[in-house]
Structure 1
Amino acid sequence: MGAVSGLRVLVVDDEALARERLRQLLADCGVADIHGLEDGRSALGWLEAHPVDVLLLDISMPDLDGMALARQLRQRTLPPALVFTTAHDHFAVEAFELDAADYLLKPVRRERLEQALQKAQARREGKRAAGFTVRQRGRLLHVPLADARYLKAELKYVTLVTPNGEYLLDDALVALEQRLGEEALRIHRNCLVMRHAVQELFRGEGGAEEHWLVRLRDIPTPLPVSRRQIHALRAALSVSD
């Protein structure tokens, strides 16, 4: 119990009995800091002033449902770990596309809830293997962060480029930048490179104006760096004149 006792948990469910049952199960798991709200709209406002570690989130709610709330929270710099609680299993794929820590079917059992809390705690402590969840030919795949080279926004999608292929992501580039933190470096308004993949930052030859490029491991063509980003990029990579 000690591993999860320090978590701050918010339960969002429009059914009072469901909220109370989850509160009791959380207390049985050793969690002391527990809050409950009855709809997604209230939760969105409440979370502005009350950060939590874990959000136990019902899916079928009026006005702002659980999926819509989760999508809005993903735009934040440090969103809580999401654990969906629902009576239906057909939302599971979408839930994990939203990077959910777990997906619990009602009625929730204490053992499964404690497992979900442990997963959320592992994320909180940075123990989860970082990476991307991508869809390919109807399947969900995990692409480890170590395989990523860069992310490029094009029209409505973001393309994840790896040495072995490219994958489309549904996330906005700014949301990915916030989630990746120091792992990603912006080189252009529509492009992020992975810090671990950078081999060289160098001045390009030719042209009337000075321009810079970045060379990434396993990527044959260097990528251009915008004038707006060059100073921040050089500072991040500790590159001197």
Structure 2
Amino acid sequence: MSEEKMHEPTNAAVALSVVLVDDEAPARRRLRDVLADAAAQVPNEVVAEAADGHAAIAAITALAERSRRAVDLVLTDIRMPKMDGIELARHLVHLEIPPAIIFITAYDSYAVQAFELNAIDYLVKPVRLLRLVDALNKVSQRRASIPAQALADIQQGARAHLSCRERGRLLLIPIADILYLRADLKYVTARTAQREYLLDESLTQLEAEFSGYFIRLHRNALAAREAIVGFEKAIKDDGETQWQALIRGVPEKLPVSRRQWTIVRACMK
């Protein structure tokens, strides 16, 4: 059976549409039962289930394409394989209509303190009915997405993927596939061997998060250290020479600024 389980919505006009994300099937079943008990006070309906962040994004995208309806709420565990709940939330905020997100966690003092400092709602396992009803009421009365920076602040470690919205779909881009990142006006382009993706993130923030993977070549460009295969000199329009980085598998050559050349050369030895 598939890792994700889809449910057809019935009373979608009234009920909150909910997606459950937890890598343990018994935990999802218990949460579904508690949600059913809460439905008399806060109408809700589980429209999809998933065992990890990847499957959750696929389920939410499929639901939107099939029913033309945005999901109201994602209840997600934090610690999961492939993609944890925090990273999942960081991708979901890029949706045109982001869902509300409530994290579910076994008691963890760091996580709880971080959530409270950032006004992020959470439930502690095992989830209790009264606490769940209170959380659902908050979503019903004020459905607000979590600020992207708040999620970045509480995540421990870097993401495994970046994401972009394209023709209504949320696309995941594995960090390991990205050859370089280049800023152009208000967008950043992520280049893989196959194609380019437009990101709604700043180059400065990406450099800070992935400093061990990317190296700055120029004020407008970061390159994956492992993707740089060499350097060559080029003549600029003003007649000056400039070093360019050769990138594995693509024809583009990225300029290396005079300021960064010493740093780049030292890092590549």
Looking at structure 2, the residues matched to 36 and 224 of structure 1 have their Cα atoms a distance apart, in angstroms, of 40
2:168 corresponds to 1:141? no
Aligned equivalent of 2:199, options 166, 169, 174: 169
Partner of 1:14: none
User: What aligned pairs does 1:24-173 form with structure 2 within 5 A after superposition?
Assistant: 29-32=106-109, 34-35=112-113, 40=118, 67-68=146-147, 70-71=148-149, 74=152, 79-81=153-155, 130-173=160-203
Partner of 1:178: 208
Runs of 4+ aligned residues of structure 1 deviating over 4 Å after TM superposition are 36-40, 55-60, 205-208
Looking at structure 2, the residues matched to 203 and 56 of structure 1 have their Cα atoms a distance apart, in angstroms, of 54
Looking at structure 2, the residues matched to 31 and 73 of structure 1 have their Cα atoms a distance apart, in angstroms, of 17
The Cα of 1:184 is off from its aligned counterpart by 0.5
The Cα of 1:182 is off from its aligned counterpart by 1.5
SS at structure 2 position matched to 1:211: strand
Q: Look up the equivalent residue of 1:234 and give its one-letter code.
A: R
User: CA separation of 1:221/1:67 partners in 2, compared to 1, >3 Å: closer, same or farther?
Assistant: same
SS at structure 1 position matched to 2:212: helix
The Cα of 1:230 is off from its aligned counterpart by 0.6
Find the structure with the greater CA-based Rg: 2
The Cα of 1:31 is off from its aligned counterpart by 3.1
Q: Deviations over 1:140-175 (max 9, x none)?
A: 121112221111111111111122111110111101
The Cα of 1:202 is off from its aligned counterpart by 2.9
2:252 corresponds to 1:221? yes
Q: Look up the equivalent residue of 1:173 and give its one-letter code.
A: L
Partner of 1:84: none
Looking at structure 2, the residues matched to 165 and 205 of structure 1 have their Cα atoms a distance apart, in angstroms, of 28
Q: Which structure 1 segments of 5+ residues have no match?
A: 5-21, 44-54, 82-122
Looking at structure 2, the residues matched to 227 and 178 of structure 1 have their Cα atoms a distance apart, in angstroms, of 21
Identity %: 35
Instruction: Check whether the contact 2:229–2:248 (CA below 8 A) recurs between aligned residues.
Output: yes
The Cα of 1:32 is off from its aligned counterpart by 4.9
SS at structure 2 position matched to 1:234: helix
Q: Look up the equivalent residue of 1:67 and give its one-letter code.
A: I
Looking at structure 2, the residues matched to 220 and 36 of structure 1 have their Cα atoms a distance apart, in angstroms, of 44
The Cα of 1:137 is off from its aligned counterpart by 1.6
Looking at structure 2, the residues matched to 38 and 221 of structure 1 have their Cα atoms a distance apart, in angstroms, of 46
Q: Look up the equivalent residue of 1:161 and give its one-letter code.
A: R
Aligned equivalent of 2:268, options 222, 233, 237: 237
Instruction: Check whether the contact 2:247–2:253 (CA below 8 A) recurs between aligned residues.
Output: yes
Looking at structure 2, the residues matched to 201 and 56 of structure 1 have their Cα atoms a distance apart, in angstroms, of 49
Looking at structure 2, the residues matched to 173 and 160 of structure 1 have their Cα atoms a distance apart, in angstroms, of 10
SS at structure 1 position matched to 2:261: helix
Looking at structure 2, the residues matched to 73 and 156 of structure 1 have their Cα atoms a distance apart, in angstroms, of 21
Aligned equivalent of 2:231, options 201, 214, 217: 201
Looking at structure 1, the residues matched to 109 and 161 of structure 2 have their Cα atoms a distance apart, in angstroms, of 31
Q: Look up the equivalent residue of 2:230 and give its one-letter code.
A: E
Q: Look up the equivalent residue of 2:146 and give its one-letter code.
A: M
Partner of 1:115: none
